[in-house]
Structure 1
Amino acid sequence: MICPEHEITDRPGYLKGYGHEVLLVRQVFTHKDGSKATLHLVCSDLSCDYNAITTTYKKRWAVEVFHKSLKSNASLAKSPTRTVRTQSNHVFMTICAAFKLECLSIKTQKNPFALCRKLLINASRAAYDQLQLLLAATA
């Protein structure tokens, strides 16, 4: 299917190194500044159409962003734990932290990554101020 007004296509094809037929989807976006970007998607379910594939991709992308937030903002991958219990606790707390950050992001209308960086900068600034007070008290 080709729709020139939306510049979208879907057609069957093959990928190098994968022996089965797949559905290849291409969507061209025009950004606000007039530049164009192309999104290429692949689906192994040949019964899907363009709309089903792009809808699934939108849902999947939200999950990918959440995983990135878990790893980057809540430090899921930096767990110093060794036992199953402490690992489970760490995973649970990172999910809670990412959820709270997401709620704060929605409330403030700010990107969770930018919001996390702002929180870290403010925490560093407060720690530096405390250090300066301690240094002044010992001098």
Structure 2
Amino acid sequence: MNEALVELYSDYLLSSFGQATATGMSEMLDGAYSHDQVTRLLSTNDFTSKTLWGMVKSTVRQIESEDAVLIFDDTIEEKPYTDEDALVTWHYEHTKGRTVKGINLLNCLYHTQGVSIPVSYKLIEKPIQYCDFKTKKLLRASETTKNEDFREILHVHIPA
């Protein structure tokens, strides 16, 4: 994996105000990286929570302290116009008091000395389809609960 390109691409995503595209990044860098290089990077690598930890571990080790905390968060990136599948599906959004269509992301931040670093995440998939007998609607469910998912994340970073 081209870590320099990963770093550059993540900076590009963070600094973009509008639509972020591989072509846009290539143009911004005056062709230093082609849009094909960015596309290949994204399509041929399996970015996981383990990949993230590998990239931030040295930084966490530099700033770790006794008063640090792990912050767990549950967020939904709305995708109202995207076709529904196991990843992009309906999730209950507590801040809105209703369900919204999107991607549900559980994440874990390491926080100390005023700095928060993402150390783990999980995208919630709902591959199980079932019919609600009352409403006759087709619904989706995850194979695990969010509580189980958060505990799994915790055990990865704080072994027993």
TM-score scaled by length of structure 2: 0.22
Give the structure-1-normalised TM-score. Answer: 0.24
Larger Rg over CA atoms:
1
More helix, by proportion: 1
